[in-house]
Amino acid sequence: MSGVKIMKRLAKEIKPVSGYMGLCITGGILGQLTILGTLVAGVGIICSYAGIDMFLSTGKWVVALFICALLRGPSRYLEQYFGHHVAYKLLAIMRVNLYDNLRKLSPAKMLDKKNGDVVSTAISDIECIEIFFAHTVAPIVIAVVISCLSLILCAAIWPMIALVMLPFYLVIGVVIPIFSARVGRDTGRDYRLWLGDLKSYLIDSLKGIKEIIAFGKGTERLGNIDKKGGEINQVLHKLIRHRNFVMAMPDLGRTLSRVVIMAICSYGMMIGEVGIGGSAVLMVVLAASFTPVIAISGLSGSLLQTFAAAERVFALEDEKPQVIDPVNPKKGVTNSGEISFSNIGFTYPTRSNVVINGFNMTAKKGDKIAFIGESGSGKSTALRLLLRYWDPDEGEILVGGTNIKDVSLKDCRNNFAMLSQDTWLMNDTIEENIKIGNPYATHEEVVEAAKRACIHDFIENLTDGYQSHAGEMGSRLSGGERQRIGIARVCLRNTPIMILDEPTSSLDTLNEKSILKTLYTEFKDRTIITVSHRASTVAGCDRVYRLDAK
Ligand SMILES: Nc1ncnc2c1ncn2[C@@H]1O[C@H](COP(=O)(O)OP(=O)(O)OP(=O)(O)O)[C@@H](O)[C@H]1O
């Protein structure tokens, strides 16, 4: 994506808060005008004391000086306050938009992405865009307005000086930033990529710390972190060299412009085109008006990272999900427990080998169905197709007689309560974790579900009972305890179909028997599909479907 395209797209994001941005720009312009006004009033006071006619009396210049000085504070406050208000509001909107798309991309498109890289984009890349919203848009407008006003004022005093100064404004404010952005673009991009890669490696190393220690890989990981850190530093040095160069060039331009201003003003006085007062005003106005222009030039160094970060955010925002909602979804026709797989064929887009080929299955309301087969035969894949994480390449899946592709993803998934192989516990109380199954459930209903999942006594014995924090002790819970919390969650979700992927793999036979009996008898009206390797888990099912590895 080109720099101009990124800027245009970022600028579009400002639309919902354009009023606040207007206030920020007004504050900025007013702030710069107060600086110019203070300097011009100073010149006015000195010249009128020296007996040079400066249009206003000394007293009026003093009043003007005080007004400008007093307005400087509030205008600066206005600019900074609304600039940051806009930036943080927009960053919050961008975070929500990004998470919304990540949600749609999950799980199919998210499997290929590195967790750390996505976290890096969702947090630090978005944070990096703050520079554009808070420190770029308004300063560009302010610099353009102040440069134009200064040139108009100069042209009113002596048109020639405006003509001579115009190229300085263009070179410092336009040519240098564009050139700098073009030259440093790849370095900025490399830095964000390396940073994402390092974060990903760190998160991976933390997640797998037990295995890393057990297999004696700690030193190797440490060495790799050190190596990656060194590589990042090299790119960072390039960025800093570039930024320093970019900061030095406009400063050089400003110094040269001052020499030219003085030379031309002296020449103007010599040939009688401008008086002492006019020259003094020209000198202070032109010198001061370069400050906002220089600020833009200086920004172009920081913007390299901002553009690279925005590019990464937009790439994630633009990525198309694996499955999409139909344009005109059918409504309310799938709420039953009937399921049918007819002639299903499926190959993962990233693989060449067929996973499911010509698979057929039917379940009536209340049927207890089992999928069995050796490891890798496609049992979990069949469940993923039912949940529409992917669409089959061949055949169709019907729920309640309707093709699941014809209803919205939300309506389709509202039919299912899912227990996956690894129960995810969010950073909240045990009660809230169970209530994921039904946020409106009462405490009594949560307790009832926990009893069905044979986890009630365990929870009661915790120091804070149902209010104990699962996040803090998530890693201290055994696999079986986590699995039973997952089962309680499923029990609470009132859907016609329950999907259980290895529901009792971490439980002893006693607990397994008791939980399955509860599930199969108490939920006799619900259709249950169970995936398991264990004969004991599928023993109570009405029908067993075998999937064969291809
Ligand atoms: N997201 C994916 N992308 C590509 N291939 C995948 C993906 N998920 C699974 N597979 C492959 O598809 C095949 C079937 O996987 P699946 O998880 O459905 O098997 P399974 O029968 O449930 O196995 P297990 O009993 O070991 O859990 C395997 O070869 C697996 O490597």
Residue whose CA is at the smallest distance from ligand 1 atom 18: 378
Residue whose CA is at the smallest distance from ligand 1 atom 6: 348
Q: Which of 105, 350, 381, 548 to mutate to test the pocket of ligand 1 (most atoms within 8 A of CB)?
A: 381
- Helices 137-157 and 159-170 meet at what angle, rounded to 10? 160
Give the pair of three-digit tokens for residue 368.
């207890």
Q: Peptide bond before 107: cis, by omega within 30 degrees of 0?
A: yes
Residue whose CA is at the smallest distance from ligand 1 atom 13: 376
Q: Which of 348, 352, 386, 500 to mutate to test the pocket of ligand 1 (most atoms within 8 A of CB)?
A: 348
Q: Looking at beta carbons, which pairs linking 354-357 to residues 24 or more positions away fall under 8 Å? A: 354/550, 355/381, 355/550, 356/381, 356/382, 356/385, 356/392, 356/547, 357/550
Distance CA 55, CA 550 (A): 94
Residue 488 has φ and ψ, to the nearest 5°, of -60, -40
DSSP state of 40: H
- Which pLDDT does position 472 carry in this prediction? 57
Residue whose CA is at the smallest distance from ligand 1 atom 8: 381
What is each CA distance from 168 to 142, 179, 247, 249, 413, in whole angstroms? 17, 15, 16, 12, 62
Element (H, E) at 357: strand 356-363
Distance 350 CA to ligand 1 centre (A): 12
Helix, strand, or coil (residue 371)? strand
Give ∠ CA 422-355-397 in degrees, rounded to 5.
80
Element (H, E) at 224: helix 218-270
Q: What sign for the dihedral angle of Cα 530, 532, 536, 538?
A: positive
Give the pair of three-digit tokens for residue 156.
């009113």
Q: All domains of the chain, ordered by start, with CATH?
A: 3-318 (1.20.1560.10), 339-546 (3.40.50.300)
Residue whose CA is at the smallest distance from ligand 1 atom 5: 348
Residue whose CA is at the smallest distance from ligand 1 atom 7: 348
- Which pLDDT does position 383 carry in this prediction? 93
Number of Cβ atoms within 10 Å of the Cβ of 140: 19
- Which pLDDT does position 222 carry in this prediction? 93
Distance 351 CA to ligand 1 centre (A): 11
Beta bridge partners of 499: 418, 529
E-state strands within 366-425: 368-372, 394-399, 402-403, 416-419
Residue whose CA is at the smallest distance from ligand 1 atom 27: 375
Residue whose CA is at the smallest distance from ligand 1 atom 29: 376
Distance 105 CA to ligand 1 centre (A): 19
Atom of ligand 1 nearest to the CA of 351: 4
Atom of ligand 1 nearest to the CA of 533: 25
Q: Which of 377, 506, 538 to mutate to test the pocket of ligand 1 (most atoms within 8 A of CB)?
A: 377
What's the pLDDT tens digit per position in 82-112? 999 999 999 999 899 888 888 888 877 777 7
Residue whose CA is at the smallest distance from ligand 1 atom 2: 348
Atom of ligand 1 nearest to the CA of 107: 1
Distance CA 365, CA 339 (A): 8
What's the pLDDT tens digit per position in 217-260? 999 999 999 999 999 999 889 888 888 888 888 888 889 998 99
Cβ proximity of 126 and 308 under 8 Å: no
Number of Cβ atoms within 10 Å of the Cβ of 333: 14
Helix, strand, or coil (residue 358)? strand
Distance 236 CA to ligand 1 centre (A): 41
Cβ proximity of 202 and 208 under 8 Å: no
Give ∠ CA 498-500-505 in degrees, rounded to 5.
155
- Which pLDDT does position 356 carry in this prediction? 93
- Which pLDDT does position 328 carry in this prediction? 87
Instruction: State which amino acid sits at residue 286.
Output: L
By DSSP bridging, strand 527-531 and strand 497-501 are parallel
**Sheet containing strand 527-531, strands side by side:** 416-419, 497-501, 527-531, 368-372, 543-546
Residue whose CA is at the smallest distance from ligand 1 atom 20: 376
Q: Measure the N-to-C terminal CA separation of the chain; round to a whole number of Å.
A: 42
What is each CA distance from 63 to 239, 278, 280, in whole angstroms? 47, 20, 20
Q: Which of 112, 355, 499, 534 to mutate to test the pocket of ligand 1 (most atoms within 8 A of CB)?
A: 355
Atom of ligand 1 nearest to the CA of 384: 18
Helix, strand, or coil (residue 57)? coil
Cβ proximity of 334 and 406 under 8 Å: no
Beta bridge partners of 501: 531
Q: Which of 351, 418, 505, 546 to mutate to test the pocket of ligand 1 (most atoms within 8 A of CB)?
A: 351
DSSP H helical ranges for 14-136: 18-49, 58-105, 115-120, 126-128, 130-135
- Which pLDDT does position 475 carry in this prediction? 64
Distance CA 480, CA 485 (A): 9
Instruction: Give the ipTM of the model, two decimals please.
Output: 0.97
Number of Cβ atoms within 10 Å of the Cβ of 19: 10
Q: Which residues line ligand 1 (CB under 6 A)?
A: 111, 348, 350-351, 355, 373, 375-381
Residue whose CA is at the smallest distance from ligand 1 atom 11: 376
- Which pLDDT does position 550 carry in this prediction? 66
pLDDT in tens for each of the 550 residues of the chain? 777 788 889 988 899 899 999 999 999 999 999 999 999 999 999 998 888 888 888 899 999 999 999 999 999 999 999 999 999 999 999 899 888 888 888 877 777 777 777 877 888 888 888 888 888 889 999 999 999 999 998 899 899 999 999 999 999 888 988 888 888 888 888 888 888 888 888 888 888 888 899 888 999 999 999 999 999 999 889 888 888 888 888 888 889 998 999 999 999 999 988 888 889 998 899 888 988 888 887 777 778 888 888 988 998 888 888 888 888 888 765 567 899 999 999 999 888 899 999 999 999 999 999 999 888 889 999 999 999 999 999 999 999 889 999 999 888 888 999 888 788 888 889 999 999 999 999 999 999 999 988 899 999 998 889 998 886 555 678 878 888 899 899 999 989 999 998 887 777 777 778 778 777 887 888 999 999 887 888 888 889 999 886 6
